[in-house]
């Protein structure tokens, strides 16, 4: 079941209609509100049923949802007439029996549609029509289908005439409301004509989309342009229940609204903060203030301390404009991306750090080495490369096992890291081999440090599962000491050659790459 834009629009229409229905019932109980709530409920059923019909791929499912639609469709004309009479003040001139007459044809249409499989007087035949918009229900209309359409045309005609007459006779102050309803009727007329004339895609019904627009215009008129009193309902259902923290500020940077999530995220945000300048509210959070002051950037990321927690927030800004394009307010959304950031940090660590020893891995080591080489060339400073190899490491694994060998590697790394400079870059090259990049270090400095590290390792006693032992290390040195035109790969190879020489010459020693090799 694919959900397309047309389906989403129908679900939005359904939500709008059902929200208007709920609001009209909660507002206060009057005949007008009750009729309007029934009208919007019928429109909601219509839009919801058509949404699922469009998402259906077989005839049986389409016919089922078509039936669901006709719980609402047939009653819309009768409810529209009742709404018109009630709104224009003619409701007292119509008896209860008269109102029942308005729903005789709707009830007949409802029964005819739901029993169509027995008489085929509503749809003579049905099939699935594959259009460019997807599968649609195609049908040959029967007599009761035409009766339903004729009644809708009658209802629209009658209501249009009544409201035009009402517009001409009513006081000026109420004419805007009448114009809104006439506009909504015009939309329904226009939609119906498009649908019946076949101007829209074949078998595609645009009426449920436009009924929502009409319902909204009716609501403006009923509540004297107070449609947005629906905000308490929408606020409870959507605004306050959103996972993202939201604040709304006016052009003067004053806080005018916020949701529950925002109040739980920021101690500074509460009812007493309403009307205060946002810079005053977030005085202890300069990163947020800087981001808000730089709202030309669509999205920015800030890190805040919330008690003992460290949160990563992504701020997005939406400016709301008035009709004359001036700024009405700005909606600021704080999206918590902490979990995402922590996951990214873990992934980054996995990609750059050796999981056993905790130092950078070969890939990251090569990146850092390349950076230091470029800096050495640019700054015309010496650079040294030291390659370490633990002597007889294979014997450690063979004697005590690989787990003990891992402990040796960890303790070796701890020993080295405790005795090198902060600017030195130390990482695992592979197996028991390690490399250290030493910026701003000439031959003499590199040799002295290598020899010192060798002695420290030799004198260090290791506790391997209760077994006290010691290890030694061989070190090879190379470097760019005299502005040589040489690559980092070559320096590593020369250091490796020097390390091999140290191994050949008895281990536990330091060897320097010969200048002739350079």
* CATH classification at residue 477: 3.30.70.270
- Whether residue 74 sits in one domain with residue 21: yes
Number of structural domains in the chain: 3
- Whether residue 442 sits in one domain with residue 316: no
Residue 348 inside a domain? The answer is: no
- Whether residue 399 sits in one domain with residue 366: yes
Most confident among 296-305, 336-345, 349-358, 472-481 (mean pLDDT): 472-481
* CA end-to-end span of the chain: 68
Read off the pLDDT band of 134 (50, 70, 90).
Answer: confident
Query: pLDDT tens, 167-184?
Result: 776 544 456 667 777 888
Q: What is the pLDDT, as a whole number, of residue 170?
A: 57
Domain hosting 336: range is 240-342
Q: Bridge partners of 281?
A: none
Q: What is the pLDDT, as a whole number, of residue 389?
A: 95
- Phi first, then psi: give them for residue 450, nearest 5 degrees: -60, -45
Q: What is the pLDDT, as a whole number, of residue 6?
A: 74
CB 515 within 8 A of CB 494: no
Report, in angstroms and rounded to the nearest whole number, the Rg of the chain calculated over CA atoms. Answer: 39
Q: What is the pLDDT, as a whole number, of residue 234?
A: 40
86 token code pair: 């009630």
Query: pLDDT tens, 285-344?
Result: 888 888 887 765 556 777 777 667 788 888 888 877 654 566 767 888 888 888 888 888
Q: What is the pLDDT, as a whole number, of residue 223?
A: 58
What is the spatial distance between Cα 42 and Cα 36, in angstroms, rounded to a whole number?
Answer: 10
pLDDT averaged over the chain? 83
Residues with Cβ < 8 Å from 469, sequence gap 6 or more? 461, 462
Q: What is the pLDDT, as a whole number, of residue 466?
A: 74
Read off the pLDDT band of 232 (50, 70, 90).
Answer: very low
Residue 133 inside a domain? The answer is: yes
Read off the pLDDT band of 221 (50, 70, 90).
Answer: low
- Whether residue 288 sits in one domain with residue 216: no
349 token code pair: 């660590």
Residue 235 inside a domain? The answer is: no
Q: Is 211 exposed, middle or buried (0-12, 13-18, 19+ CB in 10 A)?
A: buried
Q: 420: closest CA among 407, 437, 433, 406?
A: 437
Query: pLDDT tens, 403-459?
Result: 888 999 999 999 999 999 999 999 999 889 999 999 999 999 999 999 999 999 999
Q: What is the pLDDT, as a whole number, of residue 296?
A: 57
- Whether residue 86 sits in one domain with residue 215: yes
Q: Which helix (H) or strand (E) holds 410?
A: helix 402-417
- Whether residue 140 sits in one domain with residue 249: no
Q: What is the pLDDT, as a whole number, of residue 391?
A: 92
Residue the block writes with tokens 């389906």 = 7
- Whether residue 257 sits in one domain with residue 223: no
Q: Is the pLDDT of residue 477 over 80?
A: yes
Window from 211-215, 310-314, 377-381 with minimum mean pLDDT:
211-215
487-509 mean pLDDT: 93
Residue 160 half-sphere exposure toward CB, CA atoms < 13 A: 14
Q: Bridge partners of 123?
A: 141
> Which letter, b or e, does each residue of 462-485 get, where b requires 16 or more Cβ atoms within 10 Å of its Cβ?
bebeeeeeebebbbbbbbbbeeee
Q: What is the pLDDT, as a whole number, of residue 137?
A: 87
- Whether residue 159 sits in one domain with residue 14: yes
508-516 mean pLDDT: 84
- Whether residue 380 sits in one domain with residue 483: yes
Q: Which helix (H) or strand (E) holds 95?
A: none
Alpha helix stretches (DSSP H) within 115-206 = 116-119, 143-169, 175-197
């Amino acid at each position: 079941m694919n959900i397309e834009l047309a389906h989403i629009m129908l679900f939005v229409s359904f939500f709008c209609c059902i929200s208007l229905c709920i609001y009209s019932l909660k507002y206060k109980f009057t005949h007008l509100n009750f009729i309007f709530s029934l009208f919007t409920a019928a429109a909601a059923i219509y839009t919801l049923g058509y949404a699922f019909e469009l998402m259906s791929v077989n005839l049986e499912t389409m016919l089922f949802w078509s039936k669901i639609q006709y719980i609402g469709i047939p009653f819309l004309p009768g409810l529209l007439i009742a709404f018109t009479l009630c709104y224009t003040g003619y409701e007292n001139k119509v008896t209860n029996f008269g109102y029942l007459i308005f729903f005789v044809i709707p009830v007949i249409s409802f029964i005819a549609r739901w029993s169509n499989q027995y008489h085929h007087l509503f749809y003579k035949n049905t099939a699935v029509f594959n259009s460019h918009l997807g599968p649609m229900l195609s049908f040959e209309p029967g007599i009761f289908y035409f009766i339903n359409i004729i009644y809708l045309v009658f209802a629209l005609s009658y209501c249009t005439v009544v409201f035009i007459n009402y517009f001409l006779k009513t006081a000026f102050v109420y004419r805007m409301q009448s114009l809104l309803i006439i506009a909504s009727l015009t939309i329904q007329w226009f939609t119906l004509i498009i649908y019946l004339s076949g101007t829209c895609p074949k078998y595609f019904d645009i009426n449920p989309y436009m009924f929502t627009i009409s319902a909204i215009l009716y609501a403006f008129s009923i509540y004297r342009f107070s449609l947005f009193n629906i905000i308490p309902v929408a606020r409870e259902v959507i605004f306050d229940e959103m996972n993202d923290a939201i604040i709304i500020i006016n052009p003067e940077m004053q806080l005018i609204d916020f949701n529950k999530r925002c109040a739980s995220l920021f101690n500074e945000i509460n009812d007493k903060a309403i009307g205060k300048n946002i810079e005053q509210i977030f005085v202890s959070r300069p990163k947020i203030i800087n981001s808000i002051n730089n709202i030309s950037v669509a999205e920015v990321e800030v890190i805040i301390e919330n008690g003992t927690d460290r949160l990563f927030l992504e701020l997005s800004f939406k400016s709301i404009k008035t009709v004359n394009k001036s700024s009405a307010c700005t909606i600021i959304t704080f999206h918590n991306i902490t979990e995402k950031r922590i996951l990214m940090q873990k992934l980054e660590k996995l990609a750059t750090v050796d999981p056993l020893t905790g130092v950078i891995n070969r890939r990251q080591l090569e990146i850092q080495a390349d950076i230091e080489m470029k800096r050495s060339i640019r700054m015309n400073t010496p650079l040294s490369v030291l390659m370490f190899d633990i002597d007889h490491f294979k014997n450690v694994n063979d004697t005590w096992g690989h787990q003990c060998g891992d402990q040796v590697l960890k303790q070796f790394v701890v020993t080295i890291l405790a005795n090198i400079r902060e600017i030195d870059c130390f990482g695992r090259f592979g197996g028991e081999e390690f490399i250290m990049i030493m910026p701003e270090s000439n031959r003499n400095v590199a040799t002295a440090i290598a020899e010192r590290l060798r002695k420290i390792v030799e004198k260090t006693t290791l506790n391997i599962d209760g077994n006290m032992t010691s290890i030694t290390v061989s070190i090879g040195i190379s470097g760019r000491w005299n502005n040589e035109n040489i690559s980092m790969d070559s320096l590593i190879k020369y250091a490796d050659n020097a390390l091999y020489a140290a191994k050949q010459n008895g281990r536990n020693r330091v060897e320097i790459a010969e200048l002739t090799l350079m």
